[in-house]
Amino acid sequence: MTPVPDLQQLIDLIRTDAGSDDVLAQLATASTTITELTDTSDAALGYFVDQARAAGRSWLEISSVLGVSKQAAHKRFADSASAKPSFERFTARTRSVLEAAPGVARQHNHPFVGTEHLLLALYTQPEGVAAKVLDGRGLTEQAVTDAVQAIAPDGSADQLPADDVALPMTPFAVSVLKYTLDEALGLGHNYIGTEHLLLSLYRHPGGVAAQVLQRLGLNGDAAREAVKAALLELMRAK
């Protein structure tokens, strides 16, 4: 097992990052660091729960591995994802992306809709801001598809339910949709466009989409700046 930092190593790291002997500065750095570690740990755990569910493992099996009750595991990883976000602010293009995502998942013989399928579905709206940003940064649909398959290979067709059966969304994917409103409001927008969906994919670093975007050289900060530049260009063109 890969060793993790012990308590003293973590304390030393926080002190170094604080860059000051002031105890309040160190406390503030510790608070930020611990929050980031917790969020990342939760994201990583959620990712592997998603993978276990996609592989057909039951909540009973998952809860046994996690050492918690079936109810506790279901509440943490499933119930939080069951409340669907409101789509009233979604633009027509964004809704079309969501409608296309299950089809993308089926093309890869995946019995679920994950963040990777939301990412690939953005290319079904080439005039959307997200697709333009991705293409503008050299992240072509083929490049992204190849990167997705390197992490989440195509499955077997016999894994898929019948065509008239809706594919479930993973907890990460549902959470990403919920965060789109935060991304929109953060940019001062009262609508949710494809660009907000793209930025929301970074909210879960353990998700396949975020991993792919990072590996292809587009981190969250760069994506945000690219989105702002694309929106400014659109405003100038009007």
Q: 43 pLDDT exceeds 60?
A: no
In order of their start, the domains of the chain are 85-238 (1.10.1780.10)
Nearest-10 crossing angle of helices 208-215, 141-151? 120
Residue whose tokens read 């479930």? 168
Prediction pTM value: 0.67
- The per-residue pLDDT for 83 is 46
pLDDT at residue 20 in the model: 81
Question: What are the C-alpha distances in Å from 122 to residues 103, 107, 145, 156, 201?
Answer: 12, 15, 12, 24, 11
The confidence score (pLDDT) of residue 157 equals 87
Report the length, in residues, of the chain: 238
- Of the chain, the percentage scoring pLDDT greater than 90 comes to 46
pLDDT in tens, 132-187: 999 999 999 999 999 999 999 998 888 888 888 888 888 889 889 989 988 998 89
**What is the reported pLDDT for 110?**
93
String of b and e for 105-120 (b: at least 16 CB within 10 Å)? bbebebbbbbbbbbbb
Which has the higher per-residue pLDDT, 49 or 42? Answer: 49
**52-72: buried (b, 16+ CB within 10 Å) or exposed (e) per residue?**
bbbeeeebeebbeebeeeeee
pLDDT at residue 220, rounded to an integer = 95
